[in-house]
Structure 1
Amino acid sequence: MNVASPARTAAVQLISDPWDDTLISGLLSTLSPPLTSHPCCVTWPCNIPAINPRTTISMGKASLRVDCVLGEGAFATVYQATDPVTSERIVLKVQKPANPWEFYINTQLDARLRPAVRHLYSSVRSAHLFNDGSVLLAELHNHGTLLNAVNSYKTLSDKLMPKPLVLYFTVCILNMVEQLHAVGIVHADIKPDNFLLGER
């Protein structure tokens, strides 16, 4: 039986709600330098501009054509957009209220993960913080999510994903979680629709 020493036990603080706004604001306020000084974090003294499919918006120096809605959740809408100059497609994650924590975690992935495994996780290019929300610009993974892959098998005759493929995805997920834990990051929302499928 392994019993922690009293000194070590006293240092552990249990958090009942890791998504508590006050807790997150407090953690972000202690950063030095502050998150807003990051070169890819832009603060705007206004509300989020209207973002709708088939409109063009300015986001910093970029002019982007909003193509379509990719998904909607309780606190965010995800759009696909195209840079008309380069034809590059990207993701706009519009969050209300603002969620600078997600951008902070992205900066920590950049800093803590080995370059050999960084590509396993999505990457946020820039964060735009507005009075009423935030917009994250991120790379587009156009092969859907793990949930999309699972659901695609429901249309087939046996309706089940083959066991070797299930094992492959399981090993990939466990490896990704292990890499995060090794650098002191905990992901609190592991589910099939949060795993994007890459080019392979």
Structure 2
Amino acid sequence: MVVALVMTSKGGMKYHIKGCAGQGGFAQVYKANVNSDPDDVVAIKIQKPAFPWEFYMYRQLDLRISGRERSSYGFAHRIHLYSDCSILICDYLANGTLQDVINSYLVIGKSMEEVLCVYYTTEMLHMIETLHNVGLIHGDFKPDNLLVRYSRGNLTEDGFLDRSGSWGDQGLCLVDWGRGIDLHLFPDQTIFKGDCRTSGFRCIEMQEDKPWKFQVDAYGLCGVVHTMLHNCYMETVKKESSDGGSVYLPKLPFKRYWKADLWKTFFTKMLNNYPCHDDRKLLQELKKSFQDYIVSDPQRIKKLKELLAKQRVSLCSA
């Protein structure tokens, strides 16, 4: 026996629940049709207790990020507040998460191809550069919170560097803004203390009980990249540096056939002495190094297009 679940909001709008799309410790997410319209699909996030902060963060994204850049950060259309819970109505993306992509390699005993890792790293560097530049911190940067976006048309060699054409639709979408921070609500030069307690994604400063700011997203990004490269969460070790000091680096070594100098520079700069108040220059430099690697060989763009097309077919038909 199939039971149709219908939720009616205060304004009379009806959401026909189609199934569970995910759940966490304080929230459940459901796929639903609005007013029985099969073409109007949304994600409904039910949180207990009520939690309007995430909707506030989505509204700040609307106000501060415009154009095609905005599609990289998820959309929330409305929130219904009740005494014991809140119901957030968001866009529904059916393409899965970056964690799903990683798992698709894990189940066949392989790791993601390096050129695909480089591409997604470039995307994520651009995303946090844009975020931090408008005074927003995500605070929970991990593969489960990165939805996959695909281009409407065929990808071409043109437009990769400036993310124009079909490349503007291709990429990732960062969701789950419950731990987001709006820096505009604090005085300039504010730094924070606290521990997210998320295993594998606690920045060095949290681990050492030191103040942090942008480091929380930088470390999260490193954790995502490590998961793409190694199929496991990142553990860091403190190593002696050439100047007599010390640096944090991932515990697992880079494979000999990888572009090891590229990855070592990335992890060294993202995990050590990360800029607290303006990280744009660093992020731009790292992004350019990854972009240069891809465009330096036309075969890499060709390979990237093939991998993304294959990924789309395998995951979206699953």
TM-score w.r.t. the length of structure 1 is 0.70
2:58 corresponds to which letter in structure 1?
N
Question: In the comparison of the two structures, how many residue pairs are matched?
Answer: 147
Measured after TM superposition, the shift of residue 85 of structure 1 is 3.9
Pick aligned residue for 2:18 from 57, 61, 67: 67
Greater than 6 Å deviation, 4+ residue runs? none
Distance 1:69 1:85, change over 3 A: closer
Name the counterpart of 1:130.
82
1:61/1:115 Cα in 2 relative to 1: closer, same or farther (>3 Å)?
Answer: farther
* Unaligned residue ranges in structure 1 (runs of 5+): 1-52
Q: 1:166 aligns with which of 114, 117, 124?
A: 117
Contact 2:16–2:36 (Cα < 8 Å) also in 1? no
What do the CA deviations read for 1:151-187 (whole angstroms, capped 9, x no partner)? 011122x511111111111111111111100000011
CA shift for structure 1 position 84: 4.4
Q: Please tell me the residue identity of whatever aligns with 2:7.
A: I
Q: Which residue of 2 aligns with 1:102?
A: 54
Report the AA paired with residue 122 of structure 1: G
Matched, 1:144 2:91: no
2: distance between equivalents of 1:57 and 1:191? 30
Calculate the TM-score normalised by the size of structure 2.
0.45
Supply the distance in 1 between the matched residues of 2:79 and 2:117 (Cα, whole angstroms): 35
Contact 2:15 2:36 in 1 (8 A): no
The 8 Å contact of residues 54 and 68 in structure 1, kept in 2 or not, is answered as no
Q: Which amino acid aligns with 2:17?
A: V
Corresponding residue SS for 2:72:
coil
1:55 aligns with 2:5: yes
How far does residue 83 in structure 1 lie from its aligned partner after superposition? 2.3
SS at match of 1:196: strand
| CA deviations over 1:14-71 (Å, ceiling 9, x no partner) | xxxxxxxxxxxxxxxxxxxxxxxxxxxxxxxxxxxxxxx8301112332111011111
What is the distance in 1 between the residues matched to 2:23 and 2:65?
29
Distance 1:176 1:54 in 2: 39
1:191 pairs with 104, 128, 142, which one?
Answer: 142
Aligned mate of 1:179, from 113, 130, 153: 130
Give the whole-Å Cα distance in 2 for the aligned partners of 1:96 and 1:65.
Answer: 20
Aligned match of 1:49: none
CA distance in 1, matches of 2:27, 2:58: 17
Greater shift after overlay, 84-93 or 115-124? Answer: 84-93
Instruction: Return the alpha-carbon distance in structure 1 between the equivalents of residues 80 and 12 of structure 2.
Output: 12
- Cα distance in 2 for partners of 1:63, 1:159 equals 44
Q: Which residue of structure 2 lines up, in the alignment, with residue 11 of structure 1?
A: none
Identical-residue share of aligned pairs (%)? 37
Unaligned runs of 5+ in 2: 152-318
CA distance in 1, matches of 2:41, 2:78: 15
Separation in 2 of the partners of 1:167 and 1:98? Answer: 39
Give a deviation string over 1:105-132, Cα, whole Å, max 9, x none. Answer: 0010000112231111100010111100
Mapped contact 2:15–2:34 kept (Cα < 8 A): yes
Aligned twin of 2:69: 117
SS of structure 2 residue aligned to 1:78: strand
Q: Distance in 2 between matches of 1:130 and 1:97?
A: 9
- Does residue 36 of structure 2 align to residue 92 of structure 1? no
One-letter code aligned to 1:97: P
CA RMSD, 1 decimal: 1.4
